[in-house]
Structure 1
């Protein structure tokens, strides 16, 4: 592999590769409504980018007289999976970038806070052969914003996190990737993420080419 390429590119899934972040919000809004809670903008920090268990715990805290965390988790999982199945749409620029990275022989991974069965649905829709590794919520003891998911992906690929580029779309995900030592391309699809050393912010992956994806290049961003 050329020294001007990253050792690997580690992609977040929801809202980065595929247009599922709104489906997740809709699922949470549905489940919250069933327990008498109207989801709104002030809930964003505990919904967007988080694993099901985190959001279930949050909903239980705001509606303590409602179902237990386990029941809320099951309801969120079912509502989200139903919405994702059959509605997987790659976001602009994703397929072209994945194809270009494959041509350059850069290893790819999906690193997600979604459950394994949802990650597998998306992986298969995009082409399972594209991704050498996938990390789902169940694969780590602590998920995003903890660095564990990105560290697990780098370990599975046999590369150093500092030689990898993560592609994310939420503050939670950016925190996870940067805490692991990855350079980051942040896609501004669901949250306002500022540029920073080692981080490039783009409106769409259609604006990204393979040559942009090197930690040394991003360090100058």
Structure 2
């Protein structure tokens, strides 16, 4: 197997696979207002892609008088209720690309900062076996933007990060994936990802196939090798 062979694709969940950010923002607003505070859209955007415990500390600073784990559990429960009542808003092309990858024999992992019970709820609503491995917020040794979640996913899959592609929508997620050594595609949704290090930016996953991902990975690997040869000179 060569260094340019794509062996796995690592997916973020919130904002990448599913557009649940509005659900999180609604839950956050209700929680802060319950303790007499206010929560703006701009404040909510700053939490996109952040680990849940780090977010919980920000809510404590905003006046939410609850423990960190209580905040995490409360917000997760609220979002899960919204998923059950409003449905799971998959991003355009996401399920189709996943299916294409599975058909091509490419292994896949879900790498999310959401709790495992919520991630499992989303995965269970898919009508095919979409992921070989799941690393959730309560599994990771350190949250995004640290590389740990992606490195843990690679270890669980038994693959080298350099043989993978990660797909992310947020700056924190992109920094995590890039730091892991994966080739990274940014698919922006609610926040700008400029300067976060994505190796390519796709406006949408709609119409994309496993062949597109493999082509991107091959081009990235070739570019990386060329830079390495140039440095060696």
| TM-score scaled by length of structure 1 | 0.89
Residue in 1 that maps onto 2:17:
17
Q: CA RMSD in A?
A: 2.4
Residue in 2 that maps onto 1:191:
191
Q: Does 1:81 align with 2:83?
A: no
Q: Contact conserved, 1:27 with 1:79, CA < 8 A, in 2?
A: yes
SS in 1 for 2:138: helix
Which runs of 5 or more structure 2 residues have no equivalent in the other structure?
224-233
Against the structure 1 CA distance between its residues 146 and 197, is the aligned structure 2 distance closer, same or farther, given a 3 Å change threshold?
Answer: closer
Residue in 1 that maps onto 2:63:
63
SS in 1 for 2:81: helix
- Distance (Å, rounded) in 2 between the aligned partners of 1:110 and 1:102: 13
Against the structure 1 CA distance between its residues 90 and 198, is the aligned structure 2 distance closer, same or farther, given a 3 Å change threshold?
Answer: closer
Kindly name which structure, 1 or 2, has the bigger radius of gyration based on alpha carbons.
Answer: 2
Residue in 2 that maps onto 1:103:
103
- Distance (Å, rounded) in 1 between the aligned partners of 2:80 and 2:153: 23
Pick from 214, 219, 227 the counterpart of residue 217 of structure 1.
219
Instruction: Give the C-alpha shift of residue 48 in structure 1.
Output: 1.0
- Distance (Å, rounded) in 2 between the aligned partners of 1:125 and 1:141: 27
Which runs of 5 or more structure 1 residues have no equivalent in the other structure?
none
Against the structure 1 CA distance between its residues 208 and 4, is the aligned structure 2 distance closer, same or farther, given a 3 Å change threshold?
Answer: farther
| TM-score scaled by length of structure 2 | 0.85
Q: Note the 1:27-176 alignment, pairs <5 A.
A: 27-44=27-44, 46-63=46-63, 66-86=65-85, 87-127=87-127, 129-176=129-176
Instruction: Give the C-alpha shift of residue 40 in structure 1.
Output: 1.5
Deviations 1:145-192 (A, max 9, x none): 111110011011110011100000000100110111111111111211
- Distance (Å, rounded) in 1 between the aligned partners of 2:197 and 2:188: 17
Q: Contact conserved, 1:162 with 1:181, CA < 8 A, in 2?
A: yes
- Distance (Å, rounded) in 2 between the aligned partners of 1:52 and 1:3: 34
Instruction: Give the C-alpha shift of residue 91 in structure 1.
Output: 1.1
Q: Contact conserved, 1:174 with 1:184, CA < 8 A, in 2?
A: yes
Instruction: Give the C-alpha shift of residue 196 in structure 1.
Output: 7.8
- Distance (Å, rounded) in 2 between the aligned partners of 1:89 and 1:99: 17
SS in 2 for 1:9: strand
SS in 1 for 2:27: helix
- Distance (Å, rounded) in 2 between the aligned partners of 1:2 and 1:124: 34
Q: Contact conserved, 1:133 with 1:156, CA < 8 A, in 2?
A: yes
